């Protein structure tokens, strides 16, 4: 009899324990939900705060000039595309299309040149031994640390003597000769993380250095190369100082200068035109970024080789 009562004690205590465990689980799930909700509210709030100027920019580009400063909200009360139409026409003999074309005439050779030249230089530094390699790589790093400003004047004088002023050449030729130490450095680091075995296998298979580079190294380097191209694209699109220094004819202005142009020439600024053109200016960079986002992140996280 005592045994049986003892057993039932155990059973009931077992049931109690089960109920307790259930309650603890429920509590845990509830806490997790609350913490997730709080987290998302904070993230959403901060995100909105960061994005608000951009959202406002897009909204304001559809407002009338009078409304832009009258109303802090971003939803236009009387939406109009006047800013886009007039802004596209510009106050110059050229439309904004011309300035976009100019921008792309700089960006396309610069991005392609950067990708090719930096890959070759990085491959050389990462995989070959040659005299003065350490010194040369040291100077690459030194260039990386050098502020751009200090080279402006000597560069200007050089390009003036070459007769390249008021042309696109000073804006892209240096980059096409691996002039951007940052990209060289980035690719060297990426290459160092890729084991050399595949390249050795290719050499045994009969590939020379160029074939190894093109068939084996470049495909493995692709994520990093995409990052390089993206960075170069965005930085060139946004570059203001370079074109300002080297380009003097309005018909050669890229969009970054053209935007400033509309501020200069009108006395009463047509803000909605400027904002509308600003929206157009950032669009290509945004589109390219979202398209290549996946590779971009892969390329930035160093040593993107899966085991």
Q: Footprint of another protein on this chain (CB under 8 A)?
A: 195, 197-198, 200-208, 211, 215-216, 219-220, 222, 305-306
Residue 208: CB minimum distance to another protein, A: 7
Residue 32: CB minimum distance to another protein, A: 35
Identify whether the C-beta of residue 274 lies closer than 8 Å to the C-beta of residue 263: yes
Between 147 and 206, name the residue whose CB sits nearer to another protein. 206
Residue 304 to residue 302: CA distance in whole angstroms: 6
Give Cβ neighbours of residue 187 (< 8 Å, ≥ 6 apart): 118, 119, 122, 126, 221, 224, 225, 228
Nearest to 273 by CA among 258, 286, 284, 285: 258
Between 218 and 288, name the residue whose CB sits nearer to another protein. 218
Nearest to 305 by CA among 226, 220, 225: 220
Between 197 and 267, name the residue whose CB sits nearer to another protein. 197
Identify whether the C-beta of residue 63 lies closer than 8 Å to the C-beta of residue 232: no
Residue 297: CB minimum distance to another protein, A: 19
Residue 202: CB minimum distance to another protein, A: 7
Between 242 and 299, name the residue whose CB sits nearer to another protein. 299
Between 188 and 202, name the residue whose CB sits nearer to another protein. 202
Residue 195: CB minimum distance to another protein, A: 7
Residue 256 to residue 242: CA distance in whole angstroms: 10
């Amino acid at each position: 009899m005592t045994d049986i009562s003892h057993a039932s004690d155990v059973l009931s205590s077992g049931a109690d324990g089960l109920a307790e465990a259930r309650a603890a689980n429920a509590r845990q799930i509830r806490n997790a939900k609350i913490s997730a909700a709080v987290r998302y509210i904070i993230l959403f709030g901060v995100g909105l705060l960061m994005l608000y100027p951009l959202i406002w920019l897009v909204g304001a580009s559809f407002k009338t000039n009078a409304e832009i400063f009258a109303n802090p909200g971003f939803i236009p009360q009387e939406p109009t595309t006047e800013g886009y139409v007039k802004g596209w026409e510009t106050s110059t003999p050229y439309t904004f299309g011309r300035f976009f074309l100019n921008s792309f005439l700089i960006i396309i050779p610069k991005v392609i040149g950067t990708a090719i030249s930096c890959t070759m230089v990085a491959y050389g530094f990462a995989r070959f031994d040659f005299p003065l390699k350490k010194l040369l790589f040291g100077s690459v790093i030194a260039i990386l640390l050098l502020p751009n400003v200090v080279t402006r004047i000597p560069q200007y004088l050089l390009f003036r003597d070459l007769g390249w002023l008021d042309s696109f050449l000073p804006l892209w030729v240096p980059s096409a000769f691996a002039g951007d130490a940052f990209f060289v450095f980035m690719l060297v680091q990426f290459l160092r993380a890729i084991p050399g075995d595949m390249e050795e296998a290719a050499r045994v298979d009969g590939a020379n250095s160029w074939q190894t580079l093109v068939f084996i190294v470049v495909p493995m380097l692709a994520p990093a190369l995409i990052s390089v191209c993206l960075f170069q694209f965005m930085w060139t699109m946004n570059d203001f100082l370079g074109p300002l220094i080297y380009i003097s004819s309005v018909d050669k202005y890229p969009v970054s200068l053209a935007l400033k142009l509309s501020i200069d020439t009108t006395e009463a600024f047509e803000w909605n035109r400027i904002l509308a053109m600003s929206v157009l200016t950032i669009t290509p960079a945004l589109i390219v970024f979202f398209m290549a986002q996946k590779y971009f992140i892969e390329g930035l996280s160093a040593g993107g080789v899966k085991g």
